[in-house]
Structure 1
Amino acid sequence: MPTVIFEDEALLVLHKPAGLLVHPNGWAEEPLAETLVGWVQAYTQAPAYLAHRLDRATSGLILLGKNEQVARILMESFLRQEVQKKYVAVVRGWPAADVFRVERPLAKDLDGPLQDACTDFRVFSRSTCAFNSTGRYPSSRYSLLWAEPQTGRMHQIRRHLAMQRHYLIGDSKHGDNTQNNYLRQYQGITRMLLHAVELRLPHPEQAGQ
């Protein structure tokens, strides 16, 4: 279940665990009570006003307003790209540069018209593990990345990493499932290794961030 990270009269910031659905949809079977929105409604005894969303497989910070007016202000901040969102990710391989940008358009809702999309990446660390996760090499290389999307497209970080062939570990939709299956079976990695670690934005009712 979620954990409260910050709360005041206007805002609620939660840590969402990986695997928790944000809200009911037509593809999942969870009832409202088993989603993040259902948990928030039980916690606040009021409607839940989401400012943005996280993929089910992604863990980390998610922001809600305490009322409809605050949520509308927050959503406008996201639309105006006033919100800094930062993630940490574990990927296959070693990027050639320590700092790089992927600026490639992405289809809206995965199969719609193309939209501009931009993500900045920075390498925290690189490692080599003495196991063969793909059947091609005697060892496996991984990198820990800092990811900062400058736009907000569906699965943006995951898709931009796939375009670079630095597949996000545990990503069953855009990643390398041969490697994912090996890491699940032999290393116990059962989730996607993407975590929303920071949100920075103007406070809707106070000066500062």
Structure 2
Amino acid sequence: MQTLLQLENLSVIYQDEYMVAIHKPAGLLVHRSPIDKQETQFAVQLTEGIIGQKVFPIHRLDKATSGLLLFALDATTARNLSDQFMNHTIQKTYLAICRGWATESGHIEHALKYKRDKIAEKMKREQLEPQSAETAYKNLATTSVNHTIGRYEQQRYSLLELKPRTGRKHQLRRHMNHIVHPIIGDTKYGDRHHNHFFSEWLGQHRLYLAATQLQFLHPKTSEPILLECHLENSFQHALNKLKL
């Protein structure tokens, strides 16, 4: 059942002879990871099966995040696109449902401590200092729901457009928690009471964060490229219920 569901939700958005972009469903890893040894399905292998050729990962999306994921189809293109990511010339856009009513727009500049993993554990201590991180956001819509949580009888939520200027691990999730507007469904940095409410109310559990756009220069022609990605049905279902 899981295989059928993920294959159904994974779709090719764009493809030419240099690169391919897919919609990655929430819950699917980009590639094998020592953190999730029990997983048997990965976006890399599924995409290769669909298009019939090897792909080169350029960037990552968290397992819980859905949306636009770009792969190169050769090593030269991979280097070009990786350089664009490293130089922050690729513009990434996400949508997120967050707790509370955020301001109309804002810019978050908050350094994030390096997240240790098996690779980081081997690095020198001075390489693990907090890294600069920047995120711009725009409040697209707000809503409220009549439901008691704690001493509040009505709950407020915002639909935010997020544009990370840097690419730190869990940057958007950590930044939104930092400004006290955590993303709904975030089990690590979010609010468990609101996460539980959404799970019970909607009959589904997911992180309400989706990669929706990528803007960059074509690795061969240098022409501007804008790729857009639809929202997963579970994300759209939440927006419909919230009337956002």
Is the TM-score greater than 0.5? yes
Correspondent of 2:21 among 13, 20, 23: 13
**Cα deviation, residue 42, structure 1:** 1.6
CA distance in structure 2 between the aligned counterparts of 1:142 and 1:110, rounded to whole angstroms = 32
TM-score (norm 2): 0.81
The structure with the largest helix share of the pair is: 2
CA distance in structure 2 between the aligned counterparts of 1:68 and 1:19, rounded to whole angstroms = 28
CA distance in structure 1 between the aligned counterparts of 2:51 and 2:199, rounded to whole angstroms = 37
Equivalent position SS for 2:217: coil
C-alpha distance after superposition, 1:150-198 (max 9, x if no partner): 0000010100000011010000010001211122123324111101010
C-alpha distance after superposition, 1:64-89 (max 9, x if no partner): 00111111110110001110000010
The answer for the alignment partner of 1:65 in structure 2 is 72
Equivalent position SS for 2:34: coil
Equivalent position SS for 2:147: coil
Correspondent of 1:171 among 183, 186, 201: 186
- 1:101 counterpart = 2:101: no
**Cα deviation, residue 206, structure 1:** 1.2
TM-score (norm 1): 0.94
- 1:22 counterpart = 2:56: no
**Cα deviation, residue 90, structure 1:** 0.4
**Cα deviation, residue 110, structure 1:** 5.6
Correspondent of 2:45 among 38, 41, 57: 38
Letter in 2 for 1:167: P
CA distance in structure 2 between the aligned counterparts of 1:145 and 1:166, rounded to whole angstroms = 10
CA distance in structure 1 between the aligned counterparts of 2:86 and 2:28, rounded to whole angstroms = 25
Matches within 5 A, 1:9-158: 9-28=17-36, 29-31=38-40, 34-95=41-102, 97-109=103-115, 112-132=128-148, 134-158=149-173
Letter in 2 for 1:136: R
CA distance in structure 2 between the aligned counterparts of 1:23 and 1:160, rounded to whole angstroms = 25
Equivalent position SS for 2:69: strand
**Cα deviation, residue 3, structure 1:** 0.5
**Cα deviation, residue 207, structure 1:** 3.2
**Cα deviation, residue 201, structure 1:** 0.4
The answer for the alignment partner of 2:12 in structure 1 is 4
CA distance in structure 1 between the aligned counterparts of 2:222 and 2:171, rounded to whole angstroms = 31
> Which stretches in structure 1 are left out of the alignment for 5+ residues?
none
- Cα RMSD for the two superposed structures: 1.3
Percent of residue pairs bearing the same amino acid type? 36
- Whether contact under 8 Å (1:170, 1:189) holds in the other structure is no
CA distance in structure 2 between the aligned counterparts of 1:178 and 1:73, rounded to whole angstroms = 43
**Cα deviation, residue 135, structure 1:** 2.2
Letter in 1 for 2:73: K
Equivalent position SS for 1:74: helix
Equivalent position SS for 2:59: coil
